[in-house]
Structure formats: C-alpha cells, structure tokens
Amino acid sequence: MTQKIRYPKPLPAGGRIAVNAPSSGVTLDWKEFMEQAKRNVEAAGYDVQISDMVWSNVQLTSAPKEARAEEMQRLLLDPNVQAVVPVWGGEFLFEILPLLDWELLRQADPKWVLGYSDLTTFCFVYTLLTGHATAHGNNFFDLGTTPWDELTRRWVDALATPEGGQIVQHSSERYQKHWSRKLPSDPFALTEQTEWKCLGAEQQPQTAVEFSGRLLGGCWEILRSLVGTPYAPVQEFVREYCREEGVIWYLESSEINAAEMYRSLWQMKEAGWFTGAKGFLIGRARGNIDVADFSYQDALHRALGDLQVPVIYDADIGHMPPQMIFVNGAMARVSVQNGKGTVGMEYR
C-alpha cells in the first residue's frame, strides 16, 4: 500500500518562524539586509526568531557541526516554532546529517522547512527519510527585497495551505540575470524575458505540454553528493510514496557548467533515481556554462533524452530569481505553452 505524505500544519497568522544557519552564517556586512527581511516578514504578520548562530561564519559554516545539528533538531521539535526558514545556503550542511535523530524526527509532527541551494541537503533528505513534505524556495535572506514580486510572495501561500488544499503558480514575466541589490530593500532587478522551453520542441513553442506526478528535487550539485549515501533512499521513497503517480523532478544549479551537469545527471540516472520519472523541470542556468561546443541543452539531451518524458528548462527555479515554491512530495500538474508555465500543487 502506498504511504501518504505528511504535510505540516498551515503556518498561522502570528506564527513563529525560526531563522537559523545550518550551513553558512552571515557576516555583519549583511546585517542590514537581514533586518530588512525581518521587517518584511513581521509586516506580513509573523513572529520572527533569528538564532544567534546566524551572525557567525568561520570556514564557511556558522558553527561546529554538532551545534548546527543540535539547533536544527531542537527547532523542528519545538512546539512554539511553526516553520524553519534558514538564512541562506552555503557549502557543508551535509556534515549535520549523521548527527540528527531521524527516527525521532520521523515520529514527530511535521514542520515546514523552506529554502534552496545548500538547504536542498536538508529538505530533500528530511522528506525521503520521514515522509514529511518540505518546501524548496526562497531563503530568509531573499525576503528583504521590497516589495515582494508575485512569485516571491507565494511562500506565504505555500506554507499556509492545509493538507488537501491546492496552490497554483504561474511563470514570471521577467527574471533577474545578475545580482543587483545594493540597498537592503532593493527589489530583484527583473529585466530579462522569462521563457520556459521544452527540450526538443523549441521551434514549436505553441504546442501544449502537460504532465503530472509528485514533486522531488532541488539543487543538483547538492543532490549528486548524496548519491550512494544512506541519506538518499530515492528508489525506496518512490516505491513507498510515488508508485502510482510517478515523480516530477525539479532541478536547479548554482555554479556547475554543462559538462558537470551531464555528469551529475548521468550519475543520478545510473543510480536509479529517475526510474518512473514523469517529467523534468530544470531551472535557469547561471552564467556562461557551455564548455567549448558542449552546451546546457546538449547535457540535457544526452542525460535525459532517452527517458521519453517532457523536459522543461529555463523554469522559475533557484538561483536566478524569482522562483516558484516546490513542495517535495506534493502532487503537481505542469502545463507549458508559448513559453509560459503553470504548476498546480495539491497537498495530498
């Protein structure tokens, strides 16, 4: 019998959001940006609790792994905390995975965790090992942008939707190509035209593409480091939770080039991760990632072309904002036509 994904209780008005740093911390250079994010979230009606650990960053981490693990587990078990939204990503969140009591977390009531980049390490593993839904989307630091654009503001809806509820998100009109925030309240510089593309059908954008399945994914240079570890039982999770519906993989990258993309996707596919995949959503790639005459699209063709499922790329996911919120474990229906995309999620 297929297991049911467990969804956290909706984030209530006045609910407490804990901001921690399970990977990298924030230097004082960014304190004003954090204060702006805190003001914005409080103005939206929430109580914000920022951990003291956030304000330290030594050798790319906010604190020793033991302290980061202890705090993350404590916040997830604290009945006075309704959601955990870490400050931002980093490099070494994987260090805390062996130090967490996963059985205790599995038995506990699920709690919303929201983030991306290195936060994929926790969100992906937490969902796989516990069956609890997690949210891939903006980190707390991103919430300093003022005002929130139409996609960024959807984090509120994603975390406030109850089990059995639905949320529909539409692709952005424009996206930000380069970092541009100079002042804490600066909005994203949404200057580039958004266009979701279907691999192999770029010349027929009017053709409608639709597919459905349960969402699973994150930052793929993080995901590849989990292949073969006990923290990523993907095939077991798919059998237990997604056997009937299959999986929509959403993937985004931070720094890897086209060759690394191909290697990463090949590794995940050969590990059996993509068995039963119903489709792929690939986020916009940062920078000039082509290697000689080997392009981003070449990497996707070589790695995923033989799976005979839709592959949508340049979607609103990840490091080039704005981005949609994708809930790991949620049922989703994706539709794309004329460069525009819609993702409907159902918490069931």
Catalytic residue among 24, 51, 62, 117: 117
Tokens encoding 198: 């279907």
Catalytic residue among 136, 172, 221, 252: 252
Provide the pairing of β-strand 326-328 with 174-175. unpaired
User: Does 319 qualify as catalytic in the annotation?
Assistant: yes
Q: What is the DSSP letter of 325?
A: -
How many other C-beta atoms are found inside a 10 Å radius of the C-beta of residue 150? 13
Where do the H-state alpha helices sit in the chain? 31-43, 65-77, 102-107, 120-130, 154-160, 220-226, 234-241, 258-270, 296-304
- Going along the chain, which residue ranges are E strands? 16-19, 47-50, 83-84, 112-115, 134-136, 166-170, 174-175, 192-193, 197-198, 209-219, 247-252, 277-283, 311-315, 326-328, 331-337, 340-346
* Length of the chain measured in residues: 348
The answer for residues whose C-beta is within 8 angstroms of residue 119's C-beta and 6 or more apart is 22, 23, 86, 88, 89, 93, 113, 136, 139
Provide the pairing of β-strand 247-252 with 277-283. parallel
Cα dihedral sign, 171-143-216-15: negative
Burial readout 242-276 (b: 16 or more C-beta within 10 A, e: otherwise): beebbbbbbbbbbebbbebbbebbebbbebebbeb
> What's the CA gap between 264 and 157, in Å, rounded?
32
Tokens encoding 94: 């994987």
Catalytic residue among 71, 132, 254, 319: 319
User: Does 35 qualify as catalytic in the annotation?
Assistant: no
Q: Report the catalytic residues.
A: 117, 252, 319
